[in-house]
Amino acid sequence: MLKIIYQNKLEKTCYRFFTRNKHKATHWSVIRKKNRPSDKAMEHFDDFYKDVFGSHWLNIRKGLLGVQKYVAVINNYSNTEVSIDALEKDGALNMRTLYTLEKDNITEMLLKKKSLRYLDNLLKQENGEIQHHNPTLPAITPTENKTLSLEASLSTAIIDSSRLVSITDSVSVASLSHFIPTTKIKGMEDFVPESDHYRYFDNGTPLQARVEKEFNLHFPEHLNIYCYEEDNFSTFKSPKRDITDVYNYYIMDGGSVLPVLALDLKPGHRFLDMCAAPGGKSFIALQTLYPNYVVCNDVSISRVNRILSVLEQYFYDLDERWFKQNRIKVTQVDGRSIDKGNFDRILVDVPCTTDRHSLTDNDNNIFKPGRIKERLKLPELQSALLVNALKLVEKGGVVVYSTCSLSPIQNDGVVHMALKQIWEETNREIVIKDLGPALAPFRNVYKFANQKFMKYGHLVIPFVKQNYGPTYFCKLQRIT
Ligand code: SAM
């Protein structure tokens, strides 16, 4: 009892001391604190993202500043069963199971809806309200209903024409960049003529981007990813080495899974991870057990060393089994200058403003005053990397472009500019794959930005209850 009274008194005294000595907002120490790169980042995001996401920004902001959630990707080269068992005992859920269950739910729901529509039509016909089937709705027979797959059900859905973008359409182009201030970046010491840098995104060549809906997302059988359900904030135990001396799983932001799934890797593929360090997404790709040949590339030597250390931690006998057998290659090249490799799949996970990181970590922060030029040049670099991937990929091959930023300029804006350049410089036909229907079964796992905010890709937005991302990804396929 005495101890509690003493503690309360001490707390009160401390409180009085600190409130009495709290500095005014104009005090140097308060001003200095507000000048941290993370404060600049917050100011920048508040300014720009409020315009982009409107009333949703406050919730996204809460998510960005909240506790980030992770997933655990099982290492198939460790004692897989033991790791899976332990994770499941801790209440973690297999993402493939969640995806499949929800896909079945959606299929059932669509079938019910169709059956109801069918019954409704039948009733109307019996009552003489309609004489013929509505020509815009295909006639549905009960036997059809029983056998309809998700793809078939969705194929009768109405096409969302708002996602068909014309490169010449000034409205859609403007919507990608309208929130960029024309004369300055707020919160900086100097006013930088940012408009010059974004003139790069100007409208130009009369070209049409083809967007095709995709209904299927293949979840590889051997890819075991564990997550906690919405509102469950349990954390994964640190990975452990097992008897083969490799770690049992890799912990990463859940958003990282989607760009790799979007690649649609298949057995025998040659895969290039153009900006691979530290190697999280290469790791997922390798865990599908599909690619025959994986190149993990990064421009920076220190970052390449991080890839090597991840590979050493997760793949035993790396030299003998992987490097010498030419199954994995680690290279240190500027992604813009890679010019050969016959790749079926390329991931372009570009350097970006790393929005979550920029708000929490002041070291190596892209909002540091000394990195202004680098930051402004990001879209140009991102676009050049994507253009090179689109030139490099084999006919029929897939390129996935991804960032961990919410910025429409770095996301859809860069895709737009890269496509424009490809059309100007080559005669390749590139199709954008709208994964909307295929991603629907993930609705209980991820919070996706409403497609009205998006033109080409998909965006996982931070959300307090299911706090992954931000992750933007866009799937592009080379047709000719
Ligand atoms: N994909 C990685 C993963 O999942 O672990 C994260 C990649 S990180 C977002 C971006 C990487 O791009 C950084 O490691 C950076 O060094 C690299 N990078 C920057 N400029 C590059 C360039 N011109 N060519 C290749 N890599 C580059």
4-38 pLDDT per residue, tens? 555 555 555 555 555 555 666 666 665 556 689 99
| Residue 465: band (very low, low, confident or very high) from pLDDT cuts 50, 70, 90 | very high
**Residue 335 CB less than 6 A away from ligand 1:** yes
Residue with more model confidence, 463 or 177 = 463
Could you read off the pLDDT of 232-279 as tens digits, one per residue? 999 999 999 998 899 999 999 999 999 999 999 999 999 999 999 999
Nearest atom in ligand 1 to 274's CA: 25
- The pLDDT of residue 42 is above 90: yes
Instruction: Supply the pLDDT for residue 113.
Output: 79
**Residue 111 CB less than 6 A away from ligand 1:** no
| Residue 138: band (very low, low, confident or very high) from pLDDT cuts 50, 70, 90 | very low
Could you read off the pLDDT of 284-333 as tens digits, one per residue? 999 999 999 999 999 999 999 999 999 999 999 999 999 999 999 999 99
For ligand 1, atom 10, the nearest C-alpha belongs to 351
Instruction: Supply the pLDDT for residue 128.
Output: 64
Nearest atom in ligand 1 to 278's CA: 5
**Residue 447 CB less than 6 A away from ligand 1:** no
**Residue 408 CB less than 6 A away from ligand 1:** no
Residue numbering of the annotated binding site: 275-281, 298, 349
CA of 283 to the centre of ligand 1 (A): 14
Could you read off the pLDDT of 405-449 as tens digits, one per residue? 999 999 999 999 999 999 999 999 999 999 999 999 999 999 999
The percentage of residues in the chain with a pLDDT greater than 70, rounded to a whole number, is 75
| Residue 147: band (very low, low, confident or very high) from pLDDT cuts 50, 70, 90 | very low
CA of 277 to the centre of ligand 1 (A): 6
For ligand 1, atom 14, the nearest C-alpha belongs to 277
**Residue 277 CB less than 6 A away from ligand 1:** yes
**Residue 375 CB less than 6 A away from ligand 1:** no
For ligand 1, atom 8, the nearest C-alpha belongs to 351
**Residue 349 CB less than 6 A away from ligand 1:** yes
Instruction: Supply the pLDDT for residue 118.
Output: 74
Average pLDDT over residues 457-476: 97
Residue 390, number of CB atoms within 10 A of its CB: 23
Nearest atom in ligand 1 to 273's CA: 1
Ligand 1, residues 299, 375, 471: which to mutate, most atoms within 8 A of Cβ? 299
Residue numbering of the annotated binding site for S-adenosyl-L-methionine: 275-281, 298, 349
CA of 32 to the centre of ligand 1 (A): 31
**Residue 380 CB less than 6 A away from ligand 1:** no
For ligand 1, atom 19, the nearest C-alpha belongs to 351
Nearest atom in ligand 1 to 381's CA: 23
Instruction: Supply the pLDDT for residue 124.
Output: 73
- The pLDDT of residue 400 is above 60: yes
Nearest atom in ligand 1 to 298's CA: 26
Could you read off the pLDDT of 402-417 as tens digits, one per residue? 999 999 999 999 999 9
Could you read off the pLDDT of 159-216 as tens digits, one per residue? 444 444 443 343 344 444 433 333 343 443 333 444 444 444 444 444 578 999 999 9
**Residue 298 CB less than 6 A away from ligand 1:** yes
CA distance 228 to 4: 38
The pTM for the full model equals: 0.81
| Residue 121: band (very low, low, confident or very high) from pLDDT cuts 50, 70, 90 | confident
- The pLDDT of residue 79 is above 50: yes
Instruction: Give the burial class of 331: count Cβ atoms within 10 A of its Cβ; 0-12 exposed, 13-18 middle, 19 or more buried.
Output: middle
Active-site residue set: 404
CA of 334 to the centre of ligand 1 (A): 10
Instruction: Supply the pLDDT for residue 451.
Output: 86
Could you read off the pLDDT of 331-381 as tens digits, one per residue? 999 999 999 999 999 999 999 999 999 999 998 899 999 999 999 999 999
Instruction: Supply the pLDDT for residue 116.
Output: 77
Instruction: Supply the pLDDT for residue 453.
Output: 84
CA of 333 to the centre of ligand 1 (A): 11
For ligand 1, atom 1, the nearest C-alpha belongs to 276
| Residue 150: band (very low, low, confident or very high) from pLDDT cuts 50, 70, 90 | very low
Domains by residue range for the chain, with CATH:
60-108+180-478 (3.40.50.150)
Instruction: Supply the pLDDT for residue 199.
Output: 47
